[in-house]
Amino acid sequence: MSCILVTGASGGIGAAVARRFAAAGNRVAVHYGSNRAGAQETLASLDGTGHALVSGDLADPDGAASIVASALQQLGSLDVLVANAAVAPSPENRHVIGESTYAEWSTVFRQMVDVNLLGTANLAWAVASHLIERSAPGAIVNVGSRGAFRGEPEFPAYAASKAGLHALGQSLAVALAPHSISVTSVAPGFVATPRQLEKLESDQGDALRAQSPFGRVGTPEEIAEAVFWLASPEAAWSSGSILDANGASYLRS
């Protein structure tokens, strides 16, 4: 049995990841930023016992440290960090050069970089430091994005923050390998999370499904399965890798 911290687990991919680890007999710390009700729903859905609920603002360095401290206090130790929490694209944070004001542009960049990149970096420092202190092997899995490679013209801050996250993971993979800590990333394409259902059911739905030759979008459970494998000891030799999970909707060389 391992102890897992999953950030952004109030719903969608994070909730599916938490359920996948719990189903395998692990104890899970379910993190949320503002959606406490969603996190409690995730917690209640987990198999087994001994799970925990943690909150904290990833945009605040002290908040990131408190998330790990709370998980450690409740679980006793941590073996795996799944860094899933992010400020995701939405109509409210769309920022296009030539359309957005400078204030809008700079604000969204600050928000996305603070959470998606810097917040994850701070979590990784805290979890890795705990593992090194214990002389224990472990794993960090970052949830990145296909957008880091193909670009996001309406949400460039999101793509930039996820590209930085992938690069961070590869740097940490080299730094932490001597401590038997693997670091990997998964890069999902479009996923049918609850917040995307309206878009999938709209006039955009067919175009989104057509991005993949499978004729559909991904599911949170498919991404969770990829994360679960990357966090396993059997995947340690894949440390430093970025696993594309986009249904062949974008192929990079």
Tens-place pLDDT, residues 40-63: 999 999 999 999 999 999 999 999
DSSP annotation of 11 reads S
Which residue has 């909707």 as its token pair? 249
Of the candidates 32, 102, 158, 250, the residue annotated as catalytic is 158
pLDDT digits (tens, 9 = 90+) for 100-150: 999 999 999 999 999 999 999 999 999 999 999 999 999 999 999 999 999
Task: Give the pLDDT score at 170.
Answer: 98
List, in sequence order, every residue forming a beta bridge with 243; answer none if it has no partner: 186
DSSP 32-82: ESS-HHHHHHHHHH-SSS--EEEE--TTSHHHHHHHHHHHHHHHS--SEEE
Q: Is 250 a catalytic residue?
A: no
Using the predicted structure, report yes or no on whether residue 32 has a pLDDT greater than 90: yes
Using the predicted structure, report yes or no on whether residue 197 has a pLDDT greater than 80: no
Residue 202's pLDDT band (cuts 50, 70, 90): confident
Domain boundaries, the chain: 3-244
CATH superfamily of 3-244: NAD(P)-binding Rossmann-like Domain (3.40.50.720)
Query: When comparing pLDDT for 202 and 163, which is higher?
Result: 163
